[in-house]
Amino acid sequence: MKDIITLGDAMIAFNPSQTGPMKFVNSFSKNIGGAELNVAIGCSRLGLETGWISRLGNDEFGKYIRNFARGEGIDVSEVELVDGHPTSLNFKEIMEDGSVRTFYYRDNSPTLTMKPEDLNEEYFKQSKVLHITGIFPAIDEQNLLITYKAIELAKKYNVKVALDPNIRLKLWSKERACEVLKSFLPDVDILLAGTEEMEIVLGESEPQAIIEACQYYEIDYIILKQGENGAVGFHQGEYVEAPPVKPTKVVDTVGAGDGFDAGFLYSLLNGWNLEKSLNFANMIGSMVVSVKGDNEGLPYLEDVQMSLGEIERIER
């Protein structure tokens, strides 16, 4: 039985060797990126059983990503290597203040070889939560059909659906993002979103207004990520504001939201209350931004427990 399964693309992420405009950077390090894979990695490091559904190029980069995911304890039985579609790439530009711009090279993505009928129904039947984002359906219309099919299978087997809008305006317009993401909401059980994203989807930017609008869709958990301002959660009439956790240093903001998602899903599956879950997720988001890379900063459970003061770190 899988605790969490994710559906989405993954890329080789080239991180700059220095800060500043990318045109002046002369070297990059090879890493792995992809929001859905990041969440799977984060969940696996916390101790959850995870699985990932995707396609990668049958090339050295694709083999590297699949082997890396397997090494993280993620089930990759639903990840195939395909010919004729090179593994996607992205290059990051990181400024001195930790802000990031990403440049994608993902035309002819390997995921374009997927079809809705390729989804393994048994895989969904043996899972607890399906985590999806707005990135995969933004890449191609075919991916949207696959996402709808995944949601249909999840609902068929009472699998909870978690959605992080993860809006990438380099991939689609605000209008199209709004249309598609709003179509998902009636089937969403756990919403993990930034307030800026929900302004695009629902036209509301204040947490209370967003929550009120989301209640129309009968979403069980409405979780709003506010970055340096913490997070807000709503569940069965309970409203919680969780304060932010100040990071030791902001190095790279990429992956913080994915880490938050992993932390909240872990908490939920362990039956924690809303306040404890939000504080745990906030801690992980804070830990991620202090490490350079998309998923390098995603912590193991004992790291989070030590940061929360729940267990003692013995240095030597």
Which residues form the catalytic set? 258
Amino acid at the residue 308 = L
**In the structure encoding, which two tokens stand for residue 54, read together?**
């995707």
3-state secondary structure of 118: helix
**Residue whose entry in the numeric block shows the structure tokens 């894979």:** 37
- List the Cα angle 236/239/259 in 5-degree steps: 95
In angstroms, what CA-CA distances link 192 with 39, 125, 164, 188, 211? 12, 23, 5, 10, 12
Alpha helices in the chain (DSSP H): 35-46, 60-71, 121-125, 135-139, 141-156, 174-184, 195-202, 207-215, 256-269, 274-288, 301-307
CB 165 within 8 A of CB 138: no
Residue 177: count other Cβ atoms within 10 Å of its Cβ.
Answer: 22
**Residue whose entry in the numeric block shows the structure tokens 């985590």:** 131
